[in-house]
Chains A and B, each alone.
Chain A
Amino acid sequence: MSTLTKVLIVLLTVFSIFLCGIVVTYVANADNQKKIAQDATRDLRAARTAREAAQNDLAAAKEQADQMRRDLEAQMNQLTVTITDLQAKLESVQRENTQMSQRVRDMGASVQQANELQASQMQQAQAAQEQVATLEAERTRLEKELAETDQTLMEKMAIVAQLEERVKQLIEANQELETRVNQYLRPSGLTTAAPVTVTQRTGIAVPAAPPVARDIGLNARIAAVDIKNALAELSIGSAAGVRPDMRFHVTRDQQFVCDIRILDVGPDQSVGILEKIQVAPRVGDVAATNL
């Protein structure tokens, strides 16, 4: 075997081993392209599926967003209408507020006027009360004067009665003297002449006729009784036609009680003295001018 053959054998062996090592190393470290492709395909399919799902979700979200947008637009329209109504109501309420404020101011002015009027009326009432008090004092004074006048009148009437009695006695004495003188002068044919008096005769005074109560027909009730002084107060007075010296017959259940002769008469009550007492009169007994 030649040397060249040997060299070639050795070189062939060396290069073969070297080449085999490189190939083994490369193949051992090479990637599995099929697996990579399958993974990529699976990833691609999953990505497509995810894209479709995302597109579906996007479409659903868009639909939901559109629906929500429509709902919001409807709500906005409703709210706009509500705002318009509320603005109208607000304007109405503001107008009413203005009117009420004006009315309150007017009422305040009216109240002030009423207060002023009340103050004026109070002043007038006070003045009227003062005037009433003055009139009351004047009335009291006049009543007192009237009572004094009545007393004086009663005294003077008593004096007049005494004088009339005296005049009557004097007239009777005069008539008796005149009769005696005529008896003395009759045999001689003379008569007495009428005496000449200083005071001119005006005729005999005729006492005033007592009030005729029988024709009036008054009915009253006993308002108060004073047995000790034999006085009674009736419930009617001059306003009903009661006059002094009127006589009322008091009865109780078809029973005669007494008579009352009126002494003093007031506007709505009268006072009289008890006469012909059969039974003690009581408050509430019926008094009438006609039985």
Chain B
Amino acid sequence: MSPMPQRSAQLSVPSNLYTAILAVALGAVVATAAFVAFQCYSQYGTIFGMPQ
């Protein structure tokens, strides 16, 4: 995403909007994963193993 100096006339202002959108998406995924892990641990006592 580096600016292109050759065509300065056509330069556009870099926007971080999509980065924020990606950050939001990443946060949602992380939060979901954390919630699922918490639920698994609280209910079965393990996250990845088979409950005894």
B32: A residues at CB distance < 8 A:
19-20, 23-24
Chain A residues 79 to 125 lying within 8 A of chain B, measured CB to CB, are none
B interface bracket (residues with beta carbon within 8 Å of A)? 10 to 19
A26 (CB) vs chain B CBs: closest residue: B36
A24: B residues at CB distance < 8 A:
32, 35-36
* With A12-B25, A17-B28, A24-B35 as contacts: A32 and B18 at CB distance below 8 Å: no
A12: B residues at CB distance < 8 A:
22, 25
* With A27-B35, A34-B44 as contacts: A13 and B22 at CB distance below 8 Å: yes
- Shortest CB-to-CB span from B35 to chain A, Å, is 6
B28 lies within 8 A of A16 (CB): yes
* With A10-B21, A13-B22 as contacts: A35 and B43 at CB distance below 8 Å: yes
- Shortest CB-to-CB span from B32 to chain A, Å, is 4
A23 lies within 8 A of B25 (CB): no
A13 lies within 8 A of B36 (CB): no
A205 interfacial contact with B, CB 8 Å: no
- Shortest CB-to-CB span from A59 to chain B, Å, is 37
* With A6-B18, A13-B21, A13-B22 as contacts: A23 and B36 at CB distance below 8 Å: yes
B39 lies within 8 A of A27 (CB): yes
A1 lies within 8 A of B1 (CB): yes
B47: A residues at CB distance < 8 A:
none
Give the distance in Å from the alpha carbon of A34 to the alpha carbon of B42 in the complex.
11
A9 lies within 8 A of B18 (CB): yes
A27 lies within 8 A of B22 (CB): no
A1 lies within 8 A of B36 (CB): no
* With A17-B28, A20-B31 as contacts: A34 and B51 at CB distance below 8 Å: yes
Give the distance in Å from the alpha carbon of A13 to the alpha carbon of B21 in the complex.
7
- Shortest CB-to-CB span from B21 to chain A, Å, is 5
Chain A residues 1 to 41 lying within 8 A of chain B, measured CB to CB, are 1, 5-6, 9-10, 12-13, 16-17, 19-20, 23-24, 27-28, 30, 32-35
Give the distance in Å from the alpha carbon of A27 to the alpha carbon of B36 in the complex.
7
Give the distance in Å from the alpha carbon of A30 to the alpha carbon of B36 in the complex.
11
A13 lies within 8 A of B24 (CB): yes
- A1 CB contact (under 8 Å) in B18, B29, B39, B45: B18
Give the distance in Å from the alpha carbon of A32 to the alpha carbon of B40 in the complex.
9
- Shortest CB-to-CB span from B25 to chain A, Å, is 4
A20 lies within 8 A of B28 (CB): yes
A17 (CB) vs chain B CBs: closest residue: B28
Give the distance in Å from the alpha carbon of A143 to the alpha carbon of B18 in the complex.
187
B43: A residues at CB distance < 8 A:
32-35
B25 lies within 8 A of A16 (CB): yes
Contacts A13-B21, A20-B32, A28-B39 supplied; 14 other A-B pairs, CB < 8 Å: A1-B1, A9-B21, A13-B25, A17-B25, A20-B29, A23-B32, A24-B32, A24-B36, A27-B39, A30-B39, A33-B43, A33-B44, A34-B43, A35-B43
| Chain B residues near A (Cβ < 8 Å) | 1, 18, 21-22, 24-25, 28-29, 31-32, 35-36, 39, 43-45, 51
